[in-house]
Chain A
Amino acid sequence: MMDKRSLVSVVDDDESVRESLPDLLRQFGFAAEAFTSAEAFLASDLVSETSCLLLDVAMPGMSGPDLQQELTRRRQSIPIVFITAHGDSTVRPRLLARGAVDCLLKPFSEAALLDAIKAALGRPEHRPARAS
């Protein structure tokens, strides 16, 4: 049901998240990579490899929604799960309306994270496998 080798990329300017989240994702059995910024992610060669993007909303420079827009422009339709520390309830529906799979408010539970990633990977049209 779940592609164990799917790459989940984490883009967040917060170090705690960059350090902790990939470890947890690996415990879940995903491949995981962390990036300090949207620009760093775009510059990497893992954009097309990524099956699911865990994306922070507010970052210095390019924001999460900015990156989403850029990916759409590049026709890179990666399922996106936003994560945000701003507990503003108005942000979530807006992001979902723009095509995000889910929006998790920090701090979030393991279960919520896993559900969101499953939902992202379950989207039939986007299931790029890791290049082998």
Chain B
Amino acid sequence: MTASRVTHIGRWSGVHAANGDDAVADTAVNDLVSILDAVEVPIVVVRRDFTIGCFNKAAADVLGLSTSDIGRPPGAVSALAGLQRLEQECDEVISGGPEARVDLHHRHQWFVVRVSSQTRTDHRITGAVLTFTNVTVFRASIENAIYERECTKTILNTVRDPLVVLSADQRIESGNRAFYTMFGVSRDETQGVALYELGNDAAAAATLREQLGEMLTGVHASGPVEVEDVVTANGRRTLLLDAYPLSLPAHSERRVLVTFQDITARKEAQAARDLRSEEELRRSEAFLAEGQRLSLTGSFSWKVATDEITWSEQLYRIYGFEIGTPVTLEMIRARVHPEDSTLLEKMVEQARDGLNDFELQYRLVMPDRSLKYLHAVAHARRDQDGHLEYIAAVKDITAQRLSEEALAKARSELAKVARVTSLGVLTASIAHEVNQPLSGIITNAGTCLRMLDADPPNLEGARETVRRTIRDGNRASDVITRLRALFSKDELTLELLDLNEVTREVIALCVSDLHRSRLALESDLAEDLPAITGDRVQLQQVILNLLRNASDAMADVHDRPRRLLIRTERDDGEWVRVSVRDAGVGVDPQSMTKLLDAFYTTKSDGMGIGLSVSRSIIERHHGRLWAEPNDGPGATFSFSIPSDPARVADVAPG
């Protein structure tokens, strides 16, 4: 280091020698040399003859110059050999040309070499001064910046969504590849063009311009903006634009990054979906309305707090109100049948009190005085605000009610017809079967008498006719046995029955008949009856027969009340008894047993077969049927059957 310094001083001394004042000059030179040696920038002076004149310490340290290099051309020094055109540049500077710059790469370091003139005080150019500025770090940072920029550009260009940077007046600064592709334009032709001029649609452009203006000038973020009908390379598209203000430290000008999203397909799908769901809603509303119309069921909602009532069209039709009229509770009250209004009021009060589902049937009196039967079912709920609301369905059951009544009437008429018909057919067939042998018996008996009365009596003939009489008598008896067997052939249809219910049905069937005969029917049905297993229809036939029998027995009673009592009760054990008590002519004890034989009758117009068939039905239910005289007038006919035939021992109740 010391050696090199000496060398420098020696060389710079040459400079100073021209001054002539040695002492002062010596100090000045020393200071100058110190300064120059302290500078980290290498400095080399080239003489007019293009040889190295002198250099400072940095030149020795960085470029490896030594004193022996003085007087040699720079090209001979390895460090400076790489300086292209140095001599030419030096010549130009020395001959008064402008200073020049040359790049130098030396030992992984980059320098910018400034070539300037060395001028004496008399303005004579004595050489060229080379100053070496180290730009290695600067250059690396520039290269890095370039690399970063290229990376960013690549990234931006691979982004599918178009992006563009706009200036404050909405002119295009730079866009990514997707942006240029979208609009079908090149970077060069759109540089500085206003974005809103790209789409040809005036309205869309105006909207876009306005929206962008707000984004650029406003402080608030306005959020994405949807712009329809933007003309792009793909035709008219709906774009979603979003803007992000860019603040760059070096730029005072506001810029904005605008992103584009093509939402045309999404919008179309949404529109189609909206259309579809709207259509579906319309359809389901139509279905509901049609369903209500067909099922004669209306519906309503009732907000209890405000008495706000909403009705379906069908409910308006049911009530006969003009569709759309605001409905009030008063209007409803005015339509309800007076007998049902209390019921309705009670229901309304209860509904107001709390969350109770309710159901009721009531009638309306229409303006033409006709009646409507309605069945309402209401469900309580809380609406989104927590208020009590009822949703209800109201069905017009008038037709159903009328047909039920008609059905009941038809059924009772049918039962009557069936009774008459079956009895008629039965009577005819029994008559034929029995009349044939009877006819024989009578004829034979008459013949027999005549044969015995003859003189002389024809005893042989008489015996023959008596034999025939006996035979015909047996034949008649066989007919009855056959008939009874016929009745007991019916299959029983067994089910679990409540005899009270069975009895009530029979009463309902024949109550009008009884009334017509001016009979007072009372019923006394025990509540604790066990269920029994039996054939509903056959047991009803038995009860019907007993009632009819009792009714017939009182046909000629005029001097006392014609009372009929039907009673059900629990017998000893698991037996159930049904009895029918009349106040009729009664039965004498001798006839009691005969009474139940087939074809025995105390009545002039009947065959008495009913009781016989009844008995066979009851016996097939493992029960028994009997008659007993009352303490007062009339008789009581009863049957008793076990509730569970399987558990019955062959013991009837006493």
Contact = CB atoms under 8 A, between A and B. Distances in A.
Given A19-B468, A20-B465, A107 B438 contact: yes
A38 to B, nearest CB: 18
Interface string B421-453: 000000110011001111111111011001100
Contact of B450 (A16, A19, A24): A24
Helix, strand, loop or mixed for chain A's interface? mixed
Nearest to B437: A16
Given A21-B443, A23-B447, A106 B435 contact: yes
A40 B417 CA distance: 42
Nearest to A58: B432
B461 A23 contact: yes
A132 interface: no
Contact of A27 (B428, B437, B439, B451): B451
A88 interface: yes
A85 interface: yes
Contacts of A108: 439, 442
Interface residues of B, number: 25
A19 B440 contact: yes
Contacts of B447: 20, 23-24, 27
B472 interface: yes
Nearest to B461: A23
Interface string B456-467: 000001000100
Helix, strand, loop or mixed for chain B's interface? helix
B48 interface: no
Interface in B568-586: none
Given A87-B428, A88-B428, A107 B442 contact: yes
A16 B439 contact: yes
Nearest to A83: B439
A115 to B, nearest CB: 14
Contacts of B468: 16, 19-20
B436 A16 contact: yes
Contacts of B439: 14, 16-17, 20, 83, 85, 106-108
Nearest to B469: A20
Nearest to B427: A87
B452 to A, nearest CB: 11
A24 B439 CA distance: 12
B435 A85 contact: yes
Contacts of A66: none
Given A85-B431, A106-B438, A20 B451 contact: no
A23 B446 CA distance: 10
Contacts of B437: 16
Contacts of A85: 431-432, 435-436, 439
A88 B437 CA distance: 18
B11 interface: no
Interface in B551-606: none
B435 A16 contact: no
Contacts of A88: 428
B424 to A, nearest CB: 10
Contact of B443 (A17, A87, A105): A17
Contacts of B451: 27
B447 to A, nearest CB: 4
Contacts of B428: 86-88
B475 interface: yes
Interface of A: 14, 16-17, 19-21, 23-24, 27, 83, 85-88, 105-110
12 contacts: A16-B468, A17-B440, A19-B468, A23-B461, A27-B447, A27-B454, A85-B439, A87-B432, A106-B439, A107-B442, A107-B443, A109-B442
Given A23-B444, A24-B447, 6 more contacts: A16-B443, A19-B440, A21-B443, A24-B450, A27-B454, A105-B435
Interface of B: 427-428, 431-432, 435-444, 446-447, 450-451, 454, 461, 465, 468, 471-472, 475
The 5 closest A-B CB pairs, nearest first, are A16-B440, A106-B439, A20-B443, A85-B435, A107-B439
